[in-house]
Amino acid sequence: MDLLEELIAAARGEIEVDLLLAGGNVANLFSGEVHRADVAIHKGRIAGFDCSSARQVLELDGKIIAPGFIDSHVHIESAMVTVPEYARAVVPRGTTTVVTDPHEIANVWGEAGIRYMLQSSKDVPLNVFVMLPTCVPATNLESAGAALGADALAGLVQEEGVLGLAEVMNYPGVIFRDPEMMKKLALAGGRAVDGHAPGLTGRDLSAYISAGIRSDHECTTIDEAREKLRSGMHIMLREGSAAKNLLDLLPLVTAKNARQFLFVSDDRHPADILSQGHIDFMVKMAIEQGLDPIIALQISSLNAAQYFGLRDLGAIAPGYRADIAVLEELEHLCVAKVIKDGKVVAEEGDLIARLLAPATAGHKSMQIGSIGPRSFEIMAEKGQARVIGVVPHQIITKSLQISPKIQDGKVISDVDRDILKMCVVERHKATGNVGLGLVQGFGLRCGAIASSVAHDSHNIVAVGATDEDMLAAVLAVKQMGGGLVAVAEGKVLASLPLPVAGLLSEGYMRDVAEGIAECIDAAHTMGSKLEDPFMTLSFLCLPVIPELKLTDKGLVDVREFRLVGMFLGES
C-alpha cells in the first residue's frame, strides 16, 4: 500500500493510525469556530477527526489544537545563530514554518550562502522555505561580498524549498523597467514575489504591484497600509526588534479583510525571542488588543500558507501536514506542546527533538586591506559637515549640519558634543576601502565599538572616541573572524565571535544573547545611553533607509540616492 492509499485507509478507519490527539478542541480556521474533536494522525498527516485504533493516544484535556505558526518573512541571520539553533528557540513557541530571505548571508557569500542555509535546514523540526534575494547588493553605493544577478538566481529557483522571490527593495528598478530587474521578476513564473516599498503610493505603487509583487512588510501607517490593501497587497504585520508596526497597523484588520494580513518577525534578535517569543508573541499581542482569536490564528498560519501556495500547511484538516501547536487556551495564549509531522517535538517551552550539527561553513569571511591609525584620518575643510543623526528606536537617521571639532587640521571626535568618528571597512575582497563619517547620538565618552553585522553588505563598522580604539576594535573583529566588540584604551572589554560569514555563531542562542548583553553593557560603561548601540550601529550602513548613511564608499544621501562629501562644499 503506497502512502496515499494508506492515508485514505487511515481516514476511513480501516487501519490503525500512528497517533490520536484525544479530548482537545480544534481551532478550525475554515469554519471559524472552536469545536470539540479528536485528531487522528498517520504518517505525519492528519487523517481525520476520529479513528478506530491508534498506536499512541495523547490526552489533551480540553486544550486547543491549532495549526503551527508561520513566520512569513524573516532573516534568520538576524538571530545570529545557525538554523538548527534557531529551530531550538522558535519551535517550542509554536512556530513550525518560516519563510526566510537569506539576503544577509547572500551579501557575504552569494549563491554559496543561500545553499548553506538550504543545507542547514535539512533534518530540523522546522519547515524552512526560502525566498531568493532580489537585491544583492542592495545598491551600487557599497561593496558587498557578492552580486546575484538574474542568471545566478535562475540556477537556484528550482531548488527544493525555494518558493519565489524575496523583498524587491529596488522599486525604482521595477517602475522604470530596469532590464536586469525585469529578468529577475520573470523568474518567479507566477510564484510569490515579496515587496519592500516604504512610502510608495499612487501610480508608482500600481506599477510596482503590476509587476507581480503582492506583499509589503514596510507599512508604518494605517493610510499607507490601507492604500496597499486596496490595491490587492498582503500586508505583513511586523514586530521585529528594531522595527515594530503591529500595534500601529492592527486597527486596520477586520473580519472582512483579515485574509490579506500576515505576521512576520523580519529581524528579531536573540534576547527578544528568548524573553518575549516569536509569532506566538504577535498572536498574543493581537488577541490582547481585541482581535478575535480565530482571526489571529488565521493570520498566523492559514493566510501565510495560502499566500505562498503551501497547500498542505496552515490548518487542522484531513490531508494536511500534522504541524500543530497545542495551546493551553486561546484568550491567554500559551503553547503547551508542539507536534511536527506527527511527532511531539517540544513540550512546556523546551525542544525535545534531537538536533544535528549545523552544516559546515567552509568559506572565508574576513578579508580586509592593510589599515593603520592613519586610515581613519579626516582632513578638515571649511564650513559645516554632514553628520549622521541617530534616531533612538528607529533605523532611519537624520542628516545634520554641524561644525566639527578640528585639531591640527584634522577632524577628531568631540565627546562633549557627542559627535564621534565612524568608519566602514570593506571586508570581503580586501579592496582597502574605508568610508569615514561623523555620527551624533551614541554618547561614548571613551573607547570604540565595532561589528561585522552591518546591513546589508556587512562590512566592518565602527564608531569611537579615538582613532586608536577604532583601529583596535576593527582588528579585533577581523581576528575573531567576525562579531561584535567593545574596546577601551586598546583593550577588549567584551566580544561576541560570529565566525560563520561574520554573521552567525555556532553556539546556543542563550549564549549569544548573553554575549550581546555583555557587549552592550561594556558600551554603556563607556558612556552610551542607547538601549542597544550595536543594533543602532548595524543599520547606519543601510543606504536604502533615509536620510544619511555611511558605506565603505563614503557618505550616502539616501533621499538623493548618491554619494556625497562630508563637507557641504565638497559634494
Which residue ranges in the chain fall short of pLDDT 70? 362, 570-571
Give a yes or no: residue 359 inside a domain. Answer: no
pTM, two decimal places: 0.95
Domains: count for the chain: 2
pLDDT recorded at residue 570: 52
**Residue 508 to residue 512: CA distance in whole angstroms:** 6
Q: Which amino acid is at 84?
A: P
- Domain range for 199 is 68-314
pLDDT recorded at residue 360: 74
Bridge partners of residue 422, in order along the sequence = 437, 463
Residues 127 and 194 in one domain: yes
Residue identified by cell 485514505 is 8
Residues 459 and 543 in one domain: yes
Give 247-293 pLDDT, tens digit per residue.
999 999 999 999 999 999 999 999 999 999 999 999 999 999 999 99
Give a yes or no: residue 321 inside a domain. Answer: no
Cβ atoms of 51 and 40 within 8 Å: the answer is yes
CATH, residue 177: 3.20.20.140
Residue 99: partners with Cβ closer than 8 Å, 6 or more residues away: 70, 71, 72, 73, 74, 129, 130, 131, 163, 304, 308
pLDDT recorded at residue 104: 96
- Read out DSSP for 107-159? HHHTHHHHHHHHHHTTTSSSEEEEEEPS-SSS-SSS--S----HHHHHTTTTS
- Residue 44 falls in which region: left (phi positive, over 0), alpha (psi -120 to 50) or beta: left
Q: Which amino acid is at 104?
A: E
Give a yes or no: residue 455 inside a domain. Answer: yes
**Residue 332 to residue 285: CA distance in whole angstroms:** 10
**Residue 516 to residue 382: CA distance in whole angstroms:** 40
Give a yes or no: residue 5 inside a domain. Answer: no
Residue 207 CA neighbour count, 13 Å, CB half = 13
Residues 402 and 287 in one domain: no
Give a yes or no: residue 39 inside a domain. Answer: no
Q: Which amino acid is at 515?
A: G
Cβ atoms of 409 and 380 within 8 Å: the answer is yes
Q: How many helices (H) and strands (E) does the chain have?
A: 17, 33
For the beta carbon of residue 470, count every other beta carbon within 10 angstroms.
28
Residues 94 and 172 in one domain: yes
3-state secondary structure 131-142: EECCCCCCCCCC
* Domain stops at, among 284, 314, 344: 314
Nearest to residue 252, comparing CAs of 188, 312, 299, 211?
Answer: 299
Tell me the three cell numbers of residue 84: 538548527
Backbone angles phi, psi at 497, to 5 degrees: -70, 135
Nearest to residue 71, comparing CAs of 349, 332, 267, 333?
Answer: 267
- Read out DSSP for 498-509? -TBTTTBBSS-H
Q: DSSP state, 10?
A: H
* Domain stops at, among 314, 330, 365: 314
Bridge partners of residue 549, in order along the sequence = 556
* Domain stops at, among 314, 332, 347: 314
pLDDT recorded at residue 571: 47
Tell me the three cell numbers of residue 53: 485504533
Residues 253 and 401 in one domain: no
Give a yes or no: residue 412 inside a domain. Answer: yes
